[in-house]
Amino acid sequence: MIQRTWRHSLSGAGLCLLAACGGDGEGGAPAGGSGALDGPDFTIAPAYESRWIAGSMDGEDWEIFGSIADLVFNEAGDLFILDEQAGHIVVLDRDGTYLRTISRQGEGPGELTDPESISLLADGRLAVFDGGRSGIQFVTPEGAYAESAPFDPTQGAPTGVGAWLSDGSIITNREFVVSGTAESMSVSSSVGGTGDEPGRPIARYRPEGTRELLYTAWEPPPPTGDAAEAGGGSFSFNLSPVRAFDPGLHFAALSDGRLAVVDSSGYRIKLIGEDGIVGEILERPLSPIPVTSAVRDAERERRLAELEGSGDATTLSISGRPDIRMPDDFASQLREAFQARIERMTFAEVVPAIDALAVDFEDRLWVARTPLPDEEGPIDIVTPDARYLGTIQPGGLRIPDAFGPDGLIAYVDTHDLGYPIVRVVQLAPDAQLRTEHPTP
């Protein structure tokens, strides 16, 4: 079912980034609506309107979504929705009208087994990363099968997509390698590299099947402490110690092929060329939040509550291998081990400044600042040429799941009845800024 809410024709394109009073910002935007990265915060509240919602519990086959893995807009504003569970891609136009369904679940040419990510390439084709096949399926925008590009797991293969480049290359820091024989096979899965590479490697997997090291991000020293153990029957696990608030590794691709990378606690965004060389570095003078005893207690409570609500694991998933069912008593032991690890975990000295990073259709960077536990952080909008366009305060727009042309953005959400929906809104570039909108 497509639900359309109030909408009207909008002139112009992109994001209206003007200043509003209130929030953490003091004063209005500088002349021209932007400021220097080293300047003070100013608050922006981009106006937007709801366009349409797709998804239903009881409707046409295409609108009953199972598990939405990814979304991507094309230049016309059509939205491609990858349903991992159904093994197909639903295409809706910019008004939410159904156009077609691409592919189906299966193992034939152009069919999908475990699709995880999609991208529209410079040549107009649609690229689908299929984890079940450890490769990329290419189809035309109309849905015709074009070709496949498998990766060789013995040489390394991605287990997920961090970013796509316009030629169909996958940028990732999640990889696996298969070694040995059919009788004695070893699967090594890692976050950051396929072997003994130092730091946190970011790799580029080209459609031709080749892997190359693009950039090595900084890696914090390993956490200290005792491992938590779980075992039962033929299964045993050691859960390595964990340290909260270590800086994550965040990256997003710009349209010119550069990669924006965050790998430290400070507000530093490195722009990496396709040659792997750091060009510009975007920095703001924002000090990371110190980790106090109150912050430590809140983070432990948050993780324990998250563990409590996750349910017991009954299967073990390893990249490149079928799921393995675990013994009944092992799931409870594993939960106890995770709980022990949380209770013993150590902490970094500061909360990293940046929590997430995304690039919109106009190549602006949406930079989510790390909040305190159970809080929501603000989002800065900056440009690759070092302009600061303002900060969206908590309670305003969030980083969407897909950016489109003319200010279209899409969110994957859950209906009150529990089924997945896609919500599309449009930023109003020429509208007065308003703060009364709820978060989409």
Which tens digits make up the pLDDT trace of 295-310? 999 999 999 999 988 7
Closest residue by Cα to residue 28 from 41, 45, 47, 42 = 42
The pTM of the full predicted model, rounded to 2 decimals, is 0.85
Angle at which helix 328-344 crosses helix 293-308, to 10 degrees, equals 170
Is residue 264 over pLDDT 50?
yes
pLDDT number for residue 141: 86
**Greater model confidence, 54 or 185:** 54
**Measured CA angle at 284 (ends 283, 290), to 5 deg:** 110
Q: Which CATH number does 2-217+249-291+348-427 carry?
A: 2.120.10.30
Smallest Cα–Cα separation from 71: which of 52, 89, 55, 98?
A: 89
Distance CA 327, CA 235 (A): 8
| Cα–Cα dist 78/403, whole Å | 11
Q: Which residues contact 394 (CB under 8 A, 6 or more apart)?
A: 371, 375, 376, 377, 378
Q: Is pLDDT at 201 greater than 50 in this prediction?
A: yes
Q: Residue 233: which pLDDT band, with cuts at 50, 70 and 90?
A: low
> Which of these, 284, 255, 262, lies nearest to 387 by C-alpha position?
284
Q: What is the maximum alpha-carbon separation in the chain?
A: 69
What is the band of 159 on the pLDDT scale with cuts at 50, 70, 90? very high
Among 83-92, 99-108, 270-279, 430-439, whose mean pLDDT is lowest? 430-439
Quick check: 203 pLDDT over 80?
yes
Q: What is the mean pLDDT of residues 223-251?
A: 81
Strand, helix or coil for residue 216: strand
Q: What pLDDT score does 94 carry?
A: 98
- 258 SS3 class: coil
In the structure encoding, which two tokens stand for residue 341, read together? 């690890």
Question: Is residue 5 predicted with pLDDT exceeding 70?
Answer: no
Query: What pLDDT, on a 0 to 100 scale, did the predictor assign at position 192?
Result: 54
Asked whether residue 331 carries a pLDDT value surpassing 90, the answer given is no
- Mean pLDDT value of segment 34-49: 87
* pLDDT, position 3: 53
Domains of the chain, residue spans: 2-217+249-291+348-427
Note whether 429 and 407 are within 8 A (CB): yes
pLDDT higher than 90, residue 321: no
In which band, very low, low, confident or very high, does the pLDDT at 23 lie, cut at 50, 70 and 90? very low
Q: Check pLDDT > 50 for residue 437.
A: no
